Amino acid sequence: MALLSKDATIREIHHRVKNNLQTVAALLRLQARRTAIPEARIALAESVRRVNSIALVHEALSVSVAERVDLDELVDKVLPAIGDGATAESRAKVRREGNFGTLPAALATPLVLVLTELVHNALAHAFDPGRAGEVVVSAHRSDGELEVVVGDDGRGLPEGMDLERSTGLGLQIVRTLVDSELGSALEVRPRPGGGTEAVIKLSLRGR
């Protein structure tokens, strides 16, 4: 009985955190509408996207009994929202292939944030205005490892691009989360057949 009560309490906490994050997102969205500076509106919109991604993880945890998240179901909720919030010039579509499976919350939250940033970055920068294309989030899970690839069929990497020296906030967030929270490394490389792909390999042993 005590264990059941503890599980219910944990789920209720996740539910309240999700509600609080949604309130924060609503306030940021309101502030964005009242801001006349275009750069500030964009920054606030990106903050809304990030907060909403975290809120979706807590929503999933609020109905979980084991502090684990079905990443396939969660990613399928997040990706359409990213596509809908992309720049109007982008006609690229976003889809998932492969299976993430279930992951502990400690991995799910940073991984969803990383995927959000990588997909948004691809939609914003990989395609010429008006050009159709697609961004594919693929997952391959083997014994003890999860490989995640975010690939696009866009224009490819800019010549001389140095990922480590990139000053973009999105990529800085990705590098920080991949290194400190996921214990991995980010590899960005040309995609076979054209475009770009970002690759992350996660060890699942002991998790």
Whole-angstrom distance, CA of residue 131 vs CA of residue 122: 13
Query: Is the separation of the CB atoms in 120 and 49 below 8 Å?
Result: yes
pLDDT value at residue 50: 83
pLDDT value at residue 3: 42
Q: Which residue has the higher pLDDT, 166 or 121?
A: 121
CA triple 66-119-192, angle to 5 deg: 110
Per-residue confidence at 4, pLDDT binned at 50, 70, 90? very low
pLDDT value at residue 83: 66
Q: How many CB atoms lie within 10 A of CB 145?
A: 12
Write down the domain spans for the chain.
1-65, 66-207
**Does residue 198 register a pLDDT over 90?**
yes
Query: Is the separation of the CB atoms in 142 and 100 below 8 Å?
Result: no
Inter-residue long-range contacts of 21-29, CB under 8 Å, 24+ positions, other chains counted? 21/51, 21/52, 21/54, 21/55, 21/58, 22/52, 22/55, 24/51, 25/51, 25/52, 25/55
pLDDT value at residue 97: 95
pLDDT value at residue 2: 47
Q: pLDDT (tens digit, 9 = 90+) per residue, 77-115?
A: 888 877 665 554 567 888 999 999 998 888 888 898 899
Thinking of the domain 66-207, which architecture would CATH place it in?
Answer: 2-Layer Sandwich (3.30)
**In the predicted model, what is the mean pLDDT of residues 128-148?**
89
Q: pLDDT (tens digit, 9 = 90+) per residue, 47-72?
A: 888 888 788 877 877 766 667 888 89
Could you give the percent of the chain with pLDDT greater than 90?
27
pLDDT value at residue 136: 94
Q: Which amino acid is at 110?
A: P
pTM of the complete model = 0.80
